[in-house]
């Protein structure tokens, strides 16, 4: 279980997180929604330790994430970045097998390559992609490779940062289905941040709405449409008028 309690983060005078409280239960898929610039990525990066909160606590199974063995902590996570964040200088299979070829459980090259190809197959890519470089792939293929890298070391927790941004609706559907299948099949805890409502309905067990640096509403996906929360209603229906100020 991941628990965020009263998490604050500011960048100068920009107060991004203003006391976030959120719980993600083990084996469930939490989707955090909210407008652009509301701090969704900062929230996710705070859990991973890529951003240090100014105050508040973040725990994973009751252990503070800022303490203890950092490598062992990160080894429990997989992450799909918004733009894929594939390493340009490495071929696809080495991107996927990056963690497998380093650290304590380092695997020999041939074994790591076999696993990478198996993971590429899992996300719908053929083995001939393995020796290509990221720049030779389309945006959708890069997302799939990023997904293969996120699951390569069979993590317990996977984070998805805007998984469908920049993709056409069909490819978005494919990625959403893949994420849902993988989360169910691997039994992982998942946290996704997005503002794509199609993704939310495809991926989420639970939803949290982040606005003004705090969680305005959280609950099961089944309750989302009848939440009665004006912020959530405006967001999910994409209305220009409501409590969320739309800059024109």
Partner 1 sequence: MNIIFGLLAALGRSTFAALASVGRVALFAADTLSHLLRPPFYGREFAHALVQIGWLSLPVVGLTALFTGGALALQIYAGGARFNAETVVPSIVAIGLTRELGPVLGGLMVAARVASSIAAEIGTMKVTEQIDALTTLSTNPMKYLTLPRVLAATLAVPLLVGVGDVIGIMGGFLVGVGRLDFNAATYMHNTLNFLEGWDVLSGMIKGSVFGFIVALMGCYYGINSERGAQGVGRATKAAVVTASVLILASNYILTEVFFSA
Residue numbers of the site for partner 1 (CB under 8 A)?
A: 45, 48-50, 70-71, 74-75, 77, 79, 81-83, 85-88, 98-99, 102-103, 149
CB of 98 to partner 1, least distance (A): 5
Would you give the DSSP letter of residue 230?
Answer: H
Would you give the DSSP letter of residue 162?
Answer: S
Q: Which is nearer to partner 1, 86 or 200 (CB)?
A: 86
Give the up-direction half-sphere exposure of residue 55: CA atoms within 13 A in the CB hemisphere.
Answer: 4
Would you give the DSSP letter of residue 85?
Answer: -
Residue 218 phi, psi dihedral angles, 5° rounding: -145, 145
Give the up-direction half-sphere exposure of residue 75: CA atoms within 13 A in the CB hemisphere.
Answer: 13
CB of 75 to partner 1, least distance (A): 6
CB of 109 to partner 1, least distance (A): 11
The rounded distance, in Å, linking the Cα atoms of 145 and 119 is 9
CB of 193 to partner 1, least distance (A): 13
Q: Which is nearer to partner 1, 48 or 107 (CB)?
A: 48
CB of 237 to partner 1, least distance (A): 31
The 3 state secondary structure assigned to 129-152 is HHHCCHHHCCHHHHHHHHHHHHHC
Q: Which is nearer to partner 1, 99 or 216 (CB)?
A: 99
Q: Which is nearer to partner 1, 65 or 236 (CB)?
A: 65
CB of 149 to partner 1, least distance (A): 8
Per the rule left: phi > 0, alpha: psi between -120 and 50, beta: everything else, 30 is: beta
The position carrying tokens 């469930």 is: 28
The rounded distance, in Å, linking the Cα atoms of 54 and 7 is 8
Strand, helix or coil for residue 201: helix
Q: Which is nearer to partner 1, 109 or 220 (CB)?
A: 109
Q: Which is nearer to partner 1, 14 or 198 (CB)?
A: 14
């Amino acid at each position: 279980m991941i628990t965020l309690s009263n998490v604050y983060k500011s960048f100068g005078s920009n107060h991004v997180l203003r006391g976030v409280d959120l719980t993600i239960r083990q084996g469930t898929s939490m989707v955090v929604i909210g407008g652009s610039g509301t701090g969704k990525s900062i929230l996710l990066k705070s859990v991973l330790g890529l951003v240090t909160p100014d105050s508040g606590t973040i725990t994973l199974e009751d252990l503070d994430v800022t303490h203890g063995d950092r490598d062992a902590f990160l080894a429990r996570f997989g992450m799909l970045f918004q733009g894929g964040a594939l390493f340009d200088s490495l071929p696809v299979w080495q991107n996927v097998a990056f963690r497998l070829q380093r650290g304590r459980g380092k695997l020999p090259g041939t074994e790591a390559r076999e696993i990478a190809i198996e993971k590429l197959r899992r996300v719908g890519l053929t083995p001939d992609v393995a020796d290509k470089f990221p720049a030779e792939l389309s945006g959708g293929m890069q997302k799939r490779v990023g997904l293969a890298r996120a699951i390569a070391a069979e993590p317990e927790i996977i984070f998805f940062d805007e998984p469908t941004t920049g993709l056409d609706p069909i490819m978005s559907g494919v990625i959403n289905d893949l994420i849902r299948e993988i989360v169910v099949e691997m039994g992982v805890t998942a946290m996704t941040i997005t503002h794509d409502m199609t993704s939310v309905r495809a991926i989420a067990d639970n939803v949290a709405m982040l606005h003004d640096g705090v969680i305005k509403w959280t609950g099961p996906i089944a309750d989302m449409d009848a939440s009665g929360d004006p912020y959530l209603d405006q967001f999910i229906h994409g209305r220009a008028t409501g409590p969320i100020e739309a800059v024109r």
